[in-house]
Every structure is written in C-alpha cells, then in structure tokens.
Structure 1
Amino acid sequence: KLGLPKKHLVDLAGRFIPEVKPWAGVFVKEADPKIIEDLEKRGLLYKKEIIRHTYPFCWRCDTPLLYYAKESWFVRMSKLRDKMIKANQGINWIPTHIRDGRFGEWLREVKDWAFSRERYWGTPLPIWICECGEKKVVGGLADFPESSSGNTYYLLRHGESETNTKNIASSDISKPYRLTEKGRSQIAEAAKKLKKEKIDLIISSDYPRTKETSKIVSKTLKLPVAYDQRIREMNFGEYDELSVSEFKAKFSHELERFDRAPAGGETLKDVLRREMEFVQELEEKYRGKKFLLVGHGDPWWVLEGAIKGLSTRQIAEQWYTEDYIGHGGVRKFRMRDFPRDADGFVDLHRPYIDTTKFHCPKCGEQMSRVKEVADVWFDSGSMPFAQHHYPFENKKQIEKGEAFPADYISEAIDQTRGWFYTLLAVSTLLEREAPYKNVICLGHVLDAKGQKMSKSRGNVVDPFAMIEKYGADAVRWYMYTVNQPGDPKRFDEKDLDQVTKQVFLILWNVQTFYKTYESTKRGIKGAHALDRWIVSRLHLLIDQVTKLLESYRVTEAGRLIADFITDLSTWYVRRSRERFKTSGIETLREVLVTLSKLMAPFTPFLAESLYQELRAAPSKLHASVHLEDWPSSDPKRIDRDLIAGMARARLAVELGHAIRAEAKIKVRQPLADCEIAIDLPAGKAGKGTIADDILPIIAEELNVKAVRLVPALPAGRSHIEERAGRAIKLGSGISVGLSTAISDDLKREGIAREIIRAVNNLRKQAKLTIADRITLSYETDDSAVRETFETEGQKILDAVRGESIAAGKGKADQGAELDLAGATLWIGIRKI
C-alpha cells in the first residue's frame, strides 16, 4: 500500500539474518528473552506480562510455527462479494441459520484468495513469465505452441494383409505375411492423395506387410524409403501367431494393455516409448520437413492419442472405434511442446510442466513457468467442472443442467470456509450459478463428554472398530438419528448399542417371526382392524418420509421409521400372534417389503438383507432392493380416523395397565370389564371415537371380558362414575375405569393362564417344536388349583398342544414348581 521496501530479518530456518546484531544466527524463539532483557536495560520496555492466546503448531510434530511474509498470487474475490452473497440466498441450508450466519458472514467479509503455494506437489499455476515482465496464462492444451521444428507427420497404416484376413496377432518379422489384393488397392488410393502433400521423407516399419506398403507409396511419390525398428508392430509375446480374439481375451479391458504385457511381449507403454523416442529424434534432427511414417494399427493408435494429449483411458476408449486408424488410413499431425512423462504421455504436473518454455512475444526471449502450485482448495472447488473436463468437453452436462448444479451436498461445518466456499467461489469466477441447491451442514463428532476427539487426549473412537462390532448401518443410522445434522454429536458407544437393539434387532425379530408363519396365507388380506391400521400407518409413513427427505430433513425421517418399527413390533405383531396362525401374514409381508425400500437409503445393507429374506419364497420382487422404485403413498389406504382411534385405544391400554400395576393384579388374571370415557367437544356423542372392531383388541390386551365406551362425566371433562370395585385412571383427554373385583370363575381362569405360561416355558426348555404333542401331570394341595384343572383342563390342553392331564407326579421330561398366589403347584410334561 505504502510502497515501503520489504525486508525479512529472519531466514527460512527461523534464525535472525547477519544484519540483526547481536542476535545474528539465533533462533527467534531463543532470542525472545534476550530481546526483552536488552529493551529492559535500555529503558525501552513499556510493559511485561504473560498473555494466553492461540498459536499455530505443526500438526505433524507440534513444533511452534512462524508467520513468514511471502509473495503470493491472489484472486481478487472481493470484487465478486455481491455476486456470491446473491447466489447464497438461493441455497437451502440445513441448518437454516448457516446461510446468513456462519457462511453468510464469511461471504460478507470475504478476503482475496491467496491462491498459490510454494510446494512441489499440486496443480501447477499455468503462468509463464519472461524476464522482461511479460506474462502468459495457459488455459488448455490448445494454448501450448506447436513445435519449433515445423515438421509435419503423416501416419499411414499398412493395407489389409494376410494377418488381418486370418485374424492373426503376428509380430514375428520372419513370417512372410503380405498385403491382400484389397490391401494393395487401399494403399494405391492413399498414395494418390499423399502425392498432393509434397512428402519429403518416407520411413517405414521393416515388416513384409509394411515394406510392401511403403514400396507402393514410394513408387507413386518417387521417394526412397528408410526403415526403423522403433515403429514396428507391437510384440505379442506368447500370443504371437495366435488369434486376435485369444490375445484380447487376456485383458478384461483395453486399458490393461498399457501396463500388463503378455509373457515375452510388450505393453502399450513400451510401444509408445520407442515411438516417441523415434519422433523426438526427427524433431531434433530436421526442420520444416514432411514425413510419411508407415506402420501398424495399434502402435499408430497409441501414438496418435498421445500426440493429441489424450490419457490412457481416453485412448483405450477409441480402440476399434471410428477414431481407430483403418487399413490404408492416413492421419496428419504436428508436434506441440506439451510436457510429457517418461512414457511419452502428456503430464501437466511437475517436473514435466517446468520443462516447457514459451517464446516471449514482447522481447523474443524464453518464458518460464512460475514455481508455485495452486491452493489445493482450488482443486476441490473445481470438482463439478473438472470431473467433466469442462469447458473442453461435456458442455451440455454443465450448461444444460444435466450434471450441474448438484441437488445436494453434505460436509462438516468447518467446510463453510473450505469446500462449501471454494465450490461457490470457483463457480462464481466462471460466471455460473451456485454449484449446489441444498446443503446439509454437519456438526462435529465429539467424545461422550463433549470434548473434541484428539490422539493426544486419547479419546479418539476408531470408526472401523465400531463398524466391525455393530455394522456400518448401525453407525450410519446413529449419525442420522441421534440429533439434528448441524448439532455436535457426543458419541457414546452405549447409544450405538441401543440403536442396534431398539431398531435393528427388533426389525430382524419381526422378520424372523414372519418367516415362522410365512406359509400361512389363509384369510382375507387386510380385513382385520389391526391390518387396516398398520397399512394406514405404513402409507402415512411413506408420505411423511418422502416429504421430509425431499426437504432434506433426514433426522425426522429416520426417527419416524424407528417409531414405526416399534409400533410394528410392540403393537401390531404382538397383538396378531395368534391370528397369524390362520390369517393376516400377507399384510405383514407387504409392510416388511415396503419398509425395506424406505430404509434402503438409510441402511443399505440391512435393507438388502431384509429384502433378500423376503425374496426367498417365490415372489415378484427384484434381484435387489436397490433396483426397486421408491414406494408411493396411496391416500385411499390412509384411514386417519382409524389411526386416531387406535392411538386412543393404546392410551386406554396404558392407563389400564397402570391400574393393574397399582392394584398389583397381574395381566394374566382376567377381569370382568373396562369402561372408557373420551373427552369430546360439546354436542358429540360418547361413542364412535374408538371403532367397535378395536374394542376386542383392547379387551385382549387388558385381559378383560368386556370393554364399553361411556359418556364422559361431567360434561367437558374425561371422567367415569366411581363405583365400588372399580379403579379409575385419567389420561390426556381419556379416562379408564377397570373392574378390580375377581370372582371365583375369573380366579380359575387366571390360574389356567399361569399354568399355560409355565407349560409353554417347559416346552421351550425341552426344545420341542410346534408339531410335538405332550402329556401333562401335576401335583397340588390347593383346591382352587385342582378345580382349575377340572374346569379349564381342555383349554389348557388346547393352548399347550397337550393330549391329556393326569393328577400326581408322573414321569416327566421337564418339570417345575410354581407359586400361584400362595398355592403350590408342581407340573411336568412328557413328549408323546
């Protein structure tokens, strides 16, 4: 700004230069106390205190760093500030405050971009400078000058030969394969066209087929022929004299041929090296000459591609396409001063780029490239364009919106000054719109105490260890659902374990349960209230998750899926277990298939495993869930009244269980009845808020004989008339009254249920299958228990797949002693 001279007092080793006395050669940090002491002696020290402040350290060795003023190339981003701020306003940020907060503030205070770095590796700055001050910026390969030799080269491929008609890969020069009649005709035609080009020299491969070719051309052009082994056919090694198809079968792709040679043969890189050595020799030896080079298909294919500056992949893609030189074909080129690697391919990196010089248009001297490379963030910011080699290729993908801008990107919050910024900066520099439409900006992962993870602190959690232990999907799901994307994540392995158990294992248990009854396909699909409810919930879930994902609200979408899995397991499947033995299993299948599709973007491996389990039986499913379309919600299948009614029913059940718990009455003990009152707006009837076909579900869950809906008392409040033998519980907008009186009949039925539970546990201990039948024996002194076996015996047998019951301690495979509210019972089972 002020034009003052720049003078460094410290060298690059961090030591004072000789002119700084008396500290010349002293490391600056070691000199600090000596400088303070000198100032103090001379009375020039104003104040001395210790200040705690941030300071840069080397991330490799923790050595304190020194700030060192150096010249650099800058991009004047301050001139583009308004354009970037305007572009940012059209981006949807998650969280929303980032747009005008952290990122918006960075744009408002944007600094000019220190664009260059003094490193060896990186993208070289394409800037050439002459000592006279003239500068040249290269924008692409087309900006590199043509060779100063002025030579022109014509590549002629030999005409069709016997190797071609016999489809033979032949590199044995002793084999006398000659041109066919068609091949001689092709070369005669090419020679006529070449006559107009005023060729100076003909140089040919010394194979019989190329010698014959050059002889025909030589006669027409009236020029002698020289031969050079460096433009011979490729050496096919162990595949020599075998069919071309056999040789091709050795490689999965033409790209392999550049680095993989047949035994005793050459790679394409070997071929190119000798060809480039040959051409370079001509470049150095001759000026302004026109050369006709007679050679072979593959060698010319590789040479032509390398001369144009194509990569190995680009060259491989041209093999036997219209770009591949045909028999008798001619290709013309002039060399350019491209930087080339040892194999002869164009390489725009160091050290090759530094060998390229330009002729200064101002003074005529040589221009050399500046030593700096570009900031690596420029590479990152250029990604949307560079990956398509824009603007040199694929303009439609960028300019017609086929691949730009991105619909969505995601990275951590620190990228507001890194990738998010440089993407926008480069796009703005190219006068294009914002390079992304939506951003999910992530908070950092911290340890369980909220501390930043650091190797030095020893609190780093190895993600690969977590993936190995819990699976990649569990880690992924945890990150999606633990909190909002922009919030810091206090990683605790306990939470990851909980995710696995509360979502993944529950879902897999449902799938396992489905497989148990998979063959049961009786009954009308979806007729039961529970089936209609779960299908309604499913289609509502599809609608909600779709809308949330379209709004990039991933956390809410994941949590809804988790809630649905809980409802599926703890309510739908649990309340349908007995029913699945005869009907309803098809509805569960529909739910699981759809759920696998919804989970596929979140948990691709779990979703695929679930889907494949469902594919095991004959079905119309695809080979993979990832080949499926995203599910569509059917509004006609969403019964919102049913969903609301079931929610009230579940709340009623919750209140009923609370009453049982307070009264210390087990759920297996049947009770007489349950009354439910729902608080409704004035004028609404007390019935109809829970559908009649839901009431039996409540009765089963609460183990009561009858459920009745009653009007709320008094008006405007959820209340049930208090009566003797009835306990009442109030909830949000609903009240439940449960009869707690237990008659002798109810008591016997309760004992029967305890017996059934105990026998089924014994069956499990004995590892019996559902097909195994048993006999029961028992011993008890309690009359009520004996009466239970007499009155409820058949029900017990039906429930445990038993054939008979005998009093007395008989032979048993498994037995157990039970305490039934003070009564002792021994019961045993024996497999028939």
Structure 2
Amino acid sequence: GDFVTTEDGTGVVHMAPAYGEDDKATTDTVGIVPVTPVDSKGRFDSQVPDYQGQQVFEANAAIIRDLKNGTGAAAVNGPVLIRHETYDHPYPHCWRCRNPLIYRAVSSWFVRVSEFRDRMVELNQQITWYPEHVKDGQFGKWLSGARDWSISRNRYWGTPIPVWVSDDPAHPRIDVYGSLDELERDFGVRPENLHRPYIDELTRPNPDDPAGKSTMRRIEDVFDVWFDSGSMPYGQVHYPFENSDWFAGSADTEAHFPGDFIVEYIGQTRGWFYTLHVLATALFDRPAFKTCVAHGIVLGNDGAKMSKSLRNYPDVNEVFDRDGSDAMRWFLMASPILRGGNLIVTEQGIREGVRQVLLPLWNAYSFLTLYAPRVGTWRTDSTHVLDRYILAKLAVLRDELTDALDVCDISGACEQLRQFTDALTNWYVRRSRSRFWEEDAEAIDTLHTVLEVTTRLAAPLLPMATEVIWRGISGGRSVHLTDWPEAGVVPADPALVAAMDQVREVCSAASSLRKAKKLRVRLPLPRLTVAVEDPERLRPFADLIADELNVKAVELTGDVAAHGRFELTVNARVAGPRLGKAVQAAIKAVKAGAGTLNADGTLSAGEVVLNPEEYDSRLVAADPGCTAALPDGAGLVVLDDTLTEELEAEGWAKDRIRELQDLRKSSGLEVSDRITVVMAVPAERAGWARAHRDLIAGEILATAFEFGEPADGVEIGDGVRVAIARGSALGAE
C-alpha cells in the first residue's frame, strides 16, 4: 500500500480520513466516507459513547487501558493491544498558545482555482521578481500545482461570506450577493453593519419553497483572512462602487492597477503574493502587481526566529542610542535578506556597517570642516590626478547606484557605496592630507563637491547621516528634497578609474605582504616589482605607489610568468551537466598539465573543450613568501625586503616623526604651530638622528632643532628623550 508494507511491523495501518490530508486523499480513491466523531471543541461526540465529552488527548489513557484490558466498545472481543510503546515525533502546535492542534475535516466553500491555473502561470511571466529565481522557482512551481482554495473559516470574527442558503434541504437554494443594493433588493432593508451577529439577522422566505416554510439564512462561515488580503488592491478604494477611474484608469487618469511594486517575506509565495495573483487572475485576467521583492526572514542571534519571550536579539533602543537608526537600516539593506536569504541579527554585524560606511563618510565630512579654512564651492575642473580620480569614481558610483536601485538590487547598491567610501577615505582623503593642510583650493572644493553628490546618492540608504552632512555643506533645507544626480553630473574618466583602482590593488597586496612579514610601514624597502599585462597603464603612478608603500623604487613589467603561473581547475558542477562522464577526463587532463587556453577563452583539456564558465583560472605566486597575486588574476607584486643600514636609519627617523606628531597633539598644539625641539638620542643612534635631522624637523614643523639633554623632556621611544615648545622657548642643559 501507500503507507504500509508486509516487511515491517504488523502490515496494517489505520486510516483517519477526517483527520489527515494524506489519509483522506487515499480513502477518497476507494470511496470511503469520512467519519467525524470529534466536535468543534475537540471532544468525542455521541458516535463514541464510551468517551463522549472527553477531550481527545485526555481520552488517550482510557482508550489504551480499554484496549489492553479488553473492555469497552474498542475491544468487544477481548484484549486487542499487541504492543504499547511511546515514541517522539513532530506534531503541530498553535504558535500563539503552544497547545497541540487537531486536524479535522469540515465542509468548506472553495474557489475553483484549478479552472484558471494555467492562466495564472502565464500571467506570472509578466511579473518582475527579485530575486529572479522566485518567478519560475518557489512561486512558479506553487502556481503549477495550485489546487482549489478553501476560502471559508468556522470563526466568529472576520468578513462574513455573503452567501445565503435555504434551511430546508427539500427546497435547496443558494444566493450569492455582491453589493448592498442587491441585499436591499431581496431583503427590503439596507444593512448598516455587515459583521456578525448583525448580518446574520438578515433573513427572508425561500422563494423556491411553494409552502413558504423554509428560510434563507446566511451561512455561518467567514472568509479566510487571505481572501481579504488578496482583495487589497480594489478593496482599499471600494472598487467597483467608487474610484473606478483611479483604479482602472480613464482618458484623464492613470490606472493604479496593477500595482507597480510590492515587498514581503518570501514565504508569502504561498500567502499574500499567491492570493493577490489568484483573485486578480480570476477577476481581471491580469497580474495584481508588476514588480515584487521577496525578502528573507530576520532571525535572532541564536539563528532562531526572533522572540520577545526569548529576547534573542539586540535591544533596539540601545542600538539606536549607540549606533543610530542608519546603522540598523544599513545592516538590513546590505544583507542577503533582500535577495530572499535569511539574516541573523547581531550587534557585531550592525557595528560592522558603522565601521565600513557610516564612520568613513562622517570622517570625510569632519575632515573637510576641520581643515578647510573656508566653505567649499562646487568644482569639477581640478587638474590634480587624485581630484580627477575621485570625481570619475563618483561618476561610476552614480551610474552603478542608479542601475542597482532601478532593479531593486538594494544590497548591490549598498556594496557599491561601501566600496566608494573606502576609496574616498582610505585613498583620496588620506593621500590628500598634506594638500588640505596647505589649504589647497582644488582639494577643498573637490571634496566639497564629492560629498554634496555622494550624500544625494546615499540618501535613500543612509537618510539620517546624509541629511546632517548635506545640510552642513550646502546650507539647504533637506537632501531628501533634492533631485537624483543626473548622468554627467561630474566628469567621467573610465581609463583613470581603472588605472587608479589597479594602483590601489597593487598597494593593498603589497601592504598585506609587509604585514605578513611583520615589516613596519615606516621602514623603507628597496624595491617593489609589479608584473601586470599592461604595465604602461601604471607607469604614471609609479611615484605614487612608491610613496604609498615606502619603497625606494617601483619596477613595472609585463612578464607575469617570471613570478608566477596560472593554475587551472575544472568546475565540475557547471561542466558536468553538459559533458556528463567526459568531465572526469577533462579533470584528469588539466591536473596532468594538458590544459591549453585558447584565444576565444575556451580551454582545451585533452580531447574536451571547456567553455569559459566551466573552468577556473587562478594566478599562483612562484615565491609566496614575497609575492602576492592581484585580484582576478590581474598580475603579481613582488616585495624586496632586503635591508641596509641606510634604510633602517630612515625608518628609525620616520618612527620618531610619528611619535613627535603624537606629542604635538597631546601637548595641545595646533596643526600649523611651529615648534622648537631638544632631543637626546642614545649614542648608538646618534648618527642616524643627525643624518635625518632635516627630515624630522621639516615633518614636525620645527624651526629650531637641537641635540642635547632636554631640561624637562619625555621619553618617546627607543631611548629617545625630547622636549618641545611653541616658538623658541627651549634649550639644552
């Protein structure tokens, strides 16, 4: 049978078609009529006299006892209990009160969805879904298997079903009403309250009963609440009784149906999305909405559903007080949740958004207000390469954000903004600090312009922070009242963006090598070799790379093979469906080094040719200790860490500069203050100190720099004692 075999157990299975969907489907095939000895309160009725009035779960002990002892109606011919054991299995419970539920067959009213199921599948193709896989996946498959929809519920609260039936089976009649006018026509009164119990008082003689003894009464059922939800597009405006032009459109009015956009939990593919689609198809032969975002579910920090009783989530008020509402908003929008995935809420995740986006954006604004001697103005004509780069990078951001938001890719938009703020603060502002200290007008105006446009672009994602920044730099009323930046708002330069982005990748890879080898940033190194396909693109930036990485020379070469090799692997998951068993031959050929890249991007692996998406190519460094690969196999960087005494002396001097800058700050000096310095240096470092005296003095704005024991000095590092003062008030002992 479907649920029992002769190889295991007794070979017998009991069926309860009135209390289980699978049981009823099976017994329906052989014409077994369901028996329902349980009433609406979950108690046995008179069909089971021995247990009548007992709640079904409470009767378990008595039933088992009777089966075991051979007593009662359940065991007329003596003991019938062969074996009694307890086992755990899942059972449905009410999500509110946690009590066990009872499945029970009841009569119901249905919408015959099966009649127009194919049309629902067709109309689904007109809907734009995010994520895209929902259209033909979770939602499309549900539509393909759609069954008739039970729309009635045995409850008191809810929308009464407008169906009146005869109370005499001998004179059957069913009336379905669609308006108050129809009710008034048949009942002679116009109802003022359409809810129970008032609507139930509306009765009339059955017109089909010649004797006039039977009565038309409303059925007791109310609508499934999902029927109400699915009726939202027209129910909210009382269509078709009112607002017909607003809803359906006219020569002078735009139609508001179907809706342009809806968003809800992805589980609503079986709920709201589905009922909207069912009713719109049945009533209008159209989809109910044009675009739908199906998001995932927010989970507590333990991976379970959020629960007030479990308190498995951060205190929202604490998060708002500490990090601001933008932090929570960003955390949600930048996550996989808007692509249908689930999201675990953690304080660490929320703070990560603060660190990666909110603070960098705010720090750029603070830097401008702190170091700019005047209010910046709109400017896009700077000739400085860093200004040109950040403006061109902003042009790319504008286009990418526009494209992402146009297709509701919110998390993609967040990622683009995150990458831009990294370029803005960790590259542009950091590399331009000296220009701001020198009150460079081009730098000030460029940063002002960049922040003005960036805040308008970021406003939908970070509404609070962008409002404060935009008001601060523009003096305007609100960033949310401004227009979205048009294409070309700042000059584009794709070639410069590509080149400078690669410069940043080179510097990032080389910095990682430094960190891995524990070579401090201020220690100069002799050489960095950069091997890329197009070294000439980086040549104008060789000095910038050298300065950023603190190396004496940058060597650019196109000979990537001299420093590494490409390692090829077959992507069996992608290639398998097309190649079948031949994929194993391809894997063996590639592992044996028999893979050859072709000019068209395909890979010949023995007798098999792989498409570009069916294999992976990874650039592997020949000497991982001093070599690192650039992203996407774009090239390699090789760091020469050979040290000389001259390099170590310069590194020592730069360390002291950093310590003296910190001392200036802690002493309350302004950035522009000139100072005098008296420094005492251990004998073994005296030569290094004197060799780099001018370098140290120039970096810390010292107008007088003496070697000797300071009268009231402090130790700053490596045994060095120093005293500083504004002007020329110091001297050595």
TM-score by length of 1: 0.66
In the aligned structure 2, how far is the partner of 1:614 from the partner of 1:114?
Answer: 59
Q: Residue 64 of structure 1 aligns to a residue in which SS?
A: coil
Instruction: Summarize the alignment of residues 55-94 of structure 1 with structure 2, pairs less than 5 Å apart.
Output: 55-94=91-130
Alignment correspondent of 1:29: 57
- Which letter maps to 1:560? Q
Query: In the TM superposition, what is the alpha-carbon distance from 1:826 to its structure 2 partner?
Result: 0.9
Query: In the TM superposition, what is the alpha-carbon distance from 1:361 to its structure 2 partner?
Result: 5.2
Q: Residue 428 of structure 2 aligns to a residue in which SS?
A: helix
Q: Are 1:376 and 2:277 counterparts? A: no
Aligned match for 1:595, one of 414, 437, 454:
454
Q: Are 1:712 and 2:559 counterparts? A: yes
Alignment correspondent of 1:140: 179
Q: Are 1:349 and 2:377 counterparts? A: no
In the aligned structure 2, how far is the partner of 1:570 from the partner of 1:415?
Answer: 42
In the aligned structure 2, how far is the partner of 1:605 from the partner of 1:567?
Answer: 22
In the aligned structure 2, how far is the partner of 1:4 from the partner of 1:750?
Answer: 92
- Pair 428,713 (structure 1): closer, same or farther in 2 beyond 3 Å: closer
Alignment correspondent of 2:246: 397
Alignment correspondent of 1:667: 521
In the aligned structure 2, how far is the partner of 1:731 from the partner of 1:17?
Answer: 77
In the aligned structure 1, how far is the partner of 2:272 from the partner of 2:679?
Answer: 75
Gap runs ≥5 in structure 2 = 1-27, 71-77, 567-624, 728-733
Alignment correspondent of 1:754: 655
In the aligned structure 1, how far is the partner of 2:298 from the partner of 2:560?
Answer: 53
Contact 1:712 1:718 in 2 (8 A): no
Aligned match for 1:514, one of 363, 368, 387:
368
Alignment correspondent of 2:189: 337
Alignment correspondent of 2:422: 566
Alignment correspondent of 1:648: 502
Instruction: Summarize the alignment of residues 726-805 of structure 1 with structure 2, pairs less than 5 Å apart.
Output: 729=627, 731-732=629-630, 733-736=635-638, 738=640, 740=642, 742=644, 744=646, 749-782=650-683, 785=686, 788=689, 792-793=693-694, 796-805=696-705
Aligned match for 1:629, one of 483, 498, 509:
483
In the aligned structure 1, how far is the partner of 2:144 from the partner of 2:505?
Answer: 53
Q: Residue 389 of structure 1 aligns to a residue in which SS?
A: coil
In the aligned structure 2, how far is the partner of 1:602 from the partner of 1:475?
Answer: 11
- Pair 718,635 (structure 1): closer, same or farther in 2 beyond 3 Å: farther
- Which letter maps to 2:184? P
Alignment correspondent of 2:471: 612
Identity of aligned residues (%): 36
Alignment correspondent of 1:121: 157
Aligned match for 1:818, one of 716, 723, 730:
716
In the aligned structure 2, how far is the partner of 1:659 from the partner of 1:58?
Answer: 58
Contact 2:380 2:490 in 1 (8 A): no
In the aligned structure 1, how far is the partner of 2:385 from the partner of 2:354?
Answer: 30
Contact 1:748 1:785 in 2 (8 A): no
When the two chains are superposed, the root-mean-square deviation of aligned CA atoms in Å is 3.6
In the aligned structure 1, how far is the partner of 2:560 from the partner of 2:350?
Answer: 47
Alignment correspondent of 2:335: 482
Aligned match for 2:43, one of 15, 27, 40:
15
Aligned match for 1:690, one of 526, 538, 542:
538
Contact 1:506 1:569 in 2 (8 A): yes
Contact 1:539 1:635 in 2 (8 A): yes
In the aligned structure 2, how far is the partner of 1:593 from the partner of 1:553?
Answer: 23
Query: In the TM superposition, what is the alpha-carbon distance from 1:606 to its structure 2 partner?
Result: 2.5
Contact 1:752 1:789 in 2 (8 A): no
In the aligned structure 1, how far is the partner of 2:39 from the partner of 2:641?
Answer: 92
Gap runs ≥5 in structure 1 = 149-335, 341-346, 681-685, 720-726
- Pair 361,91 (structure 1): closer, same or farther in 2 beyond 3 Å: same
- Which letter maps to 1:402? A
Query: In the TM superposition, what is the alpha-carbon distance from 1:5 to its structure 2 partner?
Result: 8.2
Aligned match for 2:492, one of 638, 653, 658:
638
Q: Residue 377 of structure 1 aligns to a residue in which SS?
A: helix
- Pair 712,109 (structure 1): closer, same or farther in 2 beyond 3 Å: closer
Query: In the TM superposition, what is the alpha-carbon distance from 1:578 to its structure 2 partner?
Result: 0.9
Instruction: Summarize the alignment of residues 532-543 of structure 1 with structure 2, pairs less than 5 Å apart.
Output: 532-543=388-399
In the aligned structure 1, how far is the partner of 2:517 from the partner of 2:83?
Answer: 78
Q: Residue 129 of structure 2 aligns to a residue in which SS?
A: strand
- Pair 704,140 (structure 1): closer, same or farther in 2 beyond 3 Å: same
- Which letter maps to 2:225? V
- 351-360 or 648-657, which moves further after superposition? 351-360
In the aligned structure 2, how far is the partner of 1:740 from the partner of 1:3?
Answer: 90
In the aligned structure 1, how far is the partner of 2:407 from the partner of 2:380?
Answer: 38
In the aligned structure 2, how far is the partner of 1:59 from the partner of 1:658?
Answer: 51
Higher RCO (Cα < 8 Å, 6 or more apart): 1
TM-score by length of 2: 0.74
Query: In the TM superposition, what is the alpha-carbon distance from 1:701 to its structure 2 partner?
Result: 0.8
Deviations 1:437-469 (A, max 9, x none): 222222222334433444566635555554454
Alignment correspondent of 2:547: 700
In the aligned structure 2, how far is the partner of 1:403 from the partner of 1:431?
Answer: 13
Give the paired residue count.
Answer: 613
In the aligned structure 1, how far is the partner of 2:222 from the partner of 2:558?
Answer: 81
- Which letter maps to 2:435? R
In the aligned structure 1, how far is the partner of 2:474 from the partner of 2:116?
Answer: 56
- Which letter maps to 1:571? W
In the aligned structure 2, how far is the partner of 1:717 from the partner of 1:15?
Answer: 78
Q: Are 1:426 and 2:426 counterparts? A: no
Deviations 1:60-89 (A, max 9, x none): 332222233333322222222112122223
In the aligned structure 1, how far is the partner of 2:510 from the partner of 2:309?
Answer: 55
Contact 2:313 2:346 in 1 (8 A): no
Query: In the TM superposition, what is the alpha-carbon distance from 1:495 to its structure 2 partner?
Result: 1.6
Alignment correspondent of 1:576: 432
Q: Which has the larger radius of gyration?
A: 1
- Pair 74,663 (structure 1): closer, same or farther in 2 beyond 3 Å: closer
In the aligned structure 1, how far is the partner of 2:411 from the partner of 2:390?
Answer: 22
